[in-house]
DNA sequence: CTTCTTTGGTCAGTCTCTCTGACGGGATCG
DNA sequence: CGATCCCGTCAGAGAGACTGACCAAAGAAG
């Protein structure tokens, strides 16, 4: 029976399922000291490094909260901070060695889950889903 | 440029956008004392009432956390608790008068946002999105 | 019917995450 | 140079989540 679930909740369910899977399998792979909140910020770090304020804006939290989380990630060896060559006020948060390994591991989990979804939906509808979501992003992602 | 965003994040962005909109407009309509956490539990209450444990399971939190949130919702007049006629241990959480009004209000916001999305995507792709998500729910929603 | 186990819910304590407010130091522009 | 804006931090407070311990009712087993 197709219940009348609103589209928001319909989006949330698979999102949550993905997040849960990634954390479970990441923990099993030895990255058991990272929390969902930390990961949501970590995920946004650009390859060349990001400023704290940018991360905060993108994650939708205050810069104080972002600073708190980045402090922890730094202590755990996932990131480090370097001075921003272009701006003396700022520092760049960059992914450290352990961070790169965790990225690699989580990428593998994501691929696995996406493959499962594709098996269930079929390749054509999976591609449609991604295309529609990417399109929707234009009006729902305030940051790019 | 279609970046290689993972499907989880792609799902999260519109979800978060929807949630934000609902809270903003709900607050503007006088329901300014409810928090996202409370709402995530509240949302799951069945028309005939739900048990605390069920709500906790569905929201993915412990029953203690759910109890904490339901206490607040009760104090604010959104729900009330009645004994479960079929089980002396249990009590049913039911939506109270103010709760019904807030449901009505949020339903209106959801419809509005969905209409905006439909305008952007087109009716055909919006329907596709909902159908695919409902299908995906079968393997990502542990509770039905 | 008694005993054991499961289930619904609460109490107590703690930790993580988030926010607001205030601030110091560097950049930018008149 | 002086006014202002932006980057990041410090301090304090509150919300929401967890674990562990517990009680009471229901269900299963003897």
pLDDT digits (tens, 9 = 90+) for A73-128: 999 999 999 999 989 999 999 999 999 999 999 999 999 999 999 999 999 999 99
More confident residue, B84 or B24: B84
> Domain-by-domain residue ranges, chain A?
7-140
- Nearest CA to B34 out of B96, B112, B111 is that of B96
- Judged by a CB distance cut-off of 8 A, whether residue B127 touches chain A is no
Residue B144, pLDDT score: 58
Task: Pick A121's closest partner by Cβ from B12, B121, B132.
Answer: B132
For residue B125, list chain A residues with Cβ-Cβ distance below 8 A: 132, 135
Residue B139 CA to residue A61 CA, distance in Å, equals 31
For residues B98 and B77, the answer to whether their CB atoms sit within 8 Å is: yes
Task: Pick B135's closest partner by Cβ from A121, A139, A141.
Answer: A121
Q: Provide CATH code, domain A7-140.
A: 1.10.10.10
Chosen from B132, B134, B135, B143 to mutate, greatest number of chain A CBs within 10 A:
B132
Distance CA B72 to C1' C25 in A: 43
pLDDT tens digits along B103-132: 999 999 999 999 999 999 999 999 999 999
Domain B7-138 has CATH 1.10.10.10: yes
Residue B3, pLDDT score: 52
- Supply the DSSP string of B55-123, one letter for each residue: HHHHHTS-HHHHHHHHHHHHHTTSEEEEE-TT-TT-EEEEE-HHHHHHHHHHHHHHHHHHHHHHHHH-H
Residue A85, pLDDT score: 92
Does the structure show a pLDDT above 50 at B2?
Answer: no
Cβ of A129 near strand C (distance < 7 A): no
């Amino acid at each position: 029976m197709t219940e009348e679930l609103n589209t928001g909740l319909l989006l949330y369910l698979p999102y949550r399922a993905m997040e849960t899977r990634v954390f479970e399998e990441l923990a099993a792979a030895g990255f058991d000291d990272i929390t969902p909140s930390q990961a949501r910020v970590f995920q946004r770090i650009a390859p060349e490094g990001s400023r704290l304020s940018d991360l905060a804006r993108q994650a939708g939290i205050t810069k104080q909260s972002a600073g708190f989380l980045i402090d922890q990630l730094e202590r755990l060896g996932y990131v480090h901070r370097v001075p921003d060559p272009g701006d003396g006020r700022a520092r760049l948060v960059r992914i450290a060695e352990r961070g790169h390994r965790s990225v690699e591991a989580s990428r593998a989990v994501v691929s696995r889950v996406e493959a499962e979804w594709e098996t269930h939906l079929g390749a054509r509808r999976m591609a449609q889903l991604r295309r529609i979501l990417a399109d929707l992003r234009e009006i729902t992602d305030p940051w790019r």
